[in-house]
Amino acid sequence: MKAGADSDRYFAHPSSFIDDNVSIGAGTKIWHVSHVMGGSVIGRDCRIGQNVVIGPNARIGNGVKIQNNVSVYPGVELDDFVFCGPSMVFTNVYNPRSEIPRMAELRPTRVRRGATLGANCTVVCGVTIGCYAMVGAGAVIREDVADYALMVGVPARRAGWVGRHGHRLQADAGGAWRCPESGFEYREVRPGVVRCLTLDENAPLPAP
Ligand SMILES: CC(C)(COP(=O)(O)OP(=O)(O)OC[C@H]1O[C@@H](n2cnc3c(N)ncnc32)[C@H](O)[C@@H]1OP(=O)(O)O)[C@@H](O)C(=O)NCCC(=O)NCCS
């Protein structure tokens, strides 16, 4: 696929570079001066902003949004509906040295469905960020993040829990955590493990 291709399946701005041997799903849009490198797979209905570099061999699910100035390196895997805020940073080598080749030592990073990575945060490689977790702007993630966790600071610490709609979960009078927007109910089923009782985290949202 040549740079600037605007097929009926997806849109790539003429200033972008789409290498050979990539798969891009229908409805995806790729904006100015972004580069999709060989072997990468991008799902459908994604929004890829300006100055984004993807791959080589990246795996990006459906409905993913990547804001300006983000690089998705080999070893980084983004599940459906992940949101990458502007200028956030992934890494893939834990202890880089220019004199020592380390490309055989990449540490994978997996970001699970629906998680949000705030503007300018950094993810130190080798971690899994749980589904619908919310990483605050500027945080530095060094360890695995639980599903629905709200993570802030440097290094990031859990400051609470958030629901699928991105609101902080606070217990109501009956002790249940209910999202003020959706009414979905959540519970800490065992210490450090939160589940949505209303809808499985992999199920699509009901149509509005
Ligand atoms: C995390 C965020 C969503 C706030 O969530 P919230 O549920 O409203 O959380 P609160 O504001 O109640 O903050 C909870 C605690 O975390 C702290 N906190 C919130 N965001 C923080 C951040 N980015 N860095 C450091 N601390 C932060 C608050 O000071 C508060 O601390 P306290 O309990 O000691 O007072 C918001 O601050 C944020 O960072 N959003 C990301 C915006 C972004 O990057 N958008 C990208 C698209 S443009």
What is 3-54 written as a DSSP string?
Answer: TT---SS-EE-TTSEE-SS-EE-TT-EE-TT-EE-TT-EE-TT-EE-TT-EE
State the CATH number of the domain containing residue 26: 2.160.10.10
Find out whether the beta carbon of 140 lies less than 6 Å from any atom of ligand 1: no
Q: Judge whether 75 lies within some domain.
A: yes
For residue 167, what are its two tokens?
A: 């609101």
Find out whether the beta carbon of 167 lies less than 6 Å from any atom of ligand 1: no
Find out whether the beta carbon of 49 lies less than 6 Å from any atom of ligand 1: no
Give residue 136 CA to ligand 1 midpoint distance, Å.
5
Inform me whether the pLDDT recorded for 208 exceeds 90.
no
Q: Judge whether 60 lies within some domain.
A: yes
Q: Which protein residue has the closest C-alpha to ligand 1 atom 48?
A: 85
Give residue 147 CA to ligand 1 midpoint distance, Å.
17
Domain that holds residue 163: 7-168
Give residue 154 CA to ligand 1 midpoint distance, Å.
13
The helix/strand/coil state of 205 is coil
Q: Judge whether 42 lies within some domain.
A: yes
Please, which residues have CB within 8 angstroms of residue 200's CB and are 6 or more apart in sequence? Answer: none
Looking at the 3D structure of the chain, how many domains does it have?
A: 1
For the segment 91-140, what is each residue's pLDDT rounded down to a tens digit? 999 999 999 999 899 999 999 999 999 999 999 999 999 999 999 999 99
For the segment 2-31, what is each residue's pLDDT rounded down to a tens digit? 444 445 699 999 999 999 999 999 999 999
pLDDT at 2: 46
pLDDT at 176: 82
Find out whether the beta carbon of 3 lies less than 6 Å from any atom of ligand 1: no
CA 63 to chain CA centroid, nearest Å: 10
In whole angstroms, what is the distance from residue 142 CA to residue 165 CA? 25
Q: Judge whether 181 lies within some domain.
A: no
The closest-lying atom of ligand 1 relative to the alpha carbon of residue 135 is 1
Q: Judge whether 35 lies within some domain.
A: yes
Give residue 175 CA to ligand 1 midpoint distance, Å.
24
Q: Judge whether 67 lies within some domain.
A: yes
Give residue 152 CA to ligand 1 midpoint distance, Å.
7
pLDDT at 7: 56
Task: Output DSSP code: residue 145.
Answer: B
Contact call for residues 134 and 151 (beta carbons, < 8 A): yes
Q: Judge whether 199 lies within some domain.
A: no
Pocket test for ligand 1, best of 120, 152, 170, 186 (most atoms within 8 A of CB): 152
What is 71-111 written as a DSSP string?
Answer: EE-TTEEE-TT-EE-TT-EE---SS-BTTB--GGGPPPEEE
Angle among Cα 28, 31, 34 to the nearest 5 degrees reads 105
Q: Which protein residue has the closest C-alpha to ligand 1 atom 47?
A: 85
Find out whether the beta carbon of 168 lies less than 6 Å from any atom of ligand 1: yes
Q: Judge whether 183 lies within some domain.
A: no
Contact call for residues 63 and 83 (beta carbons, < 8 A): no
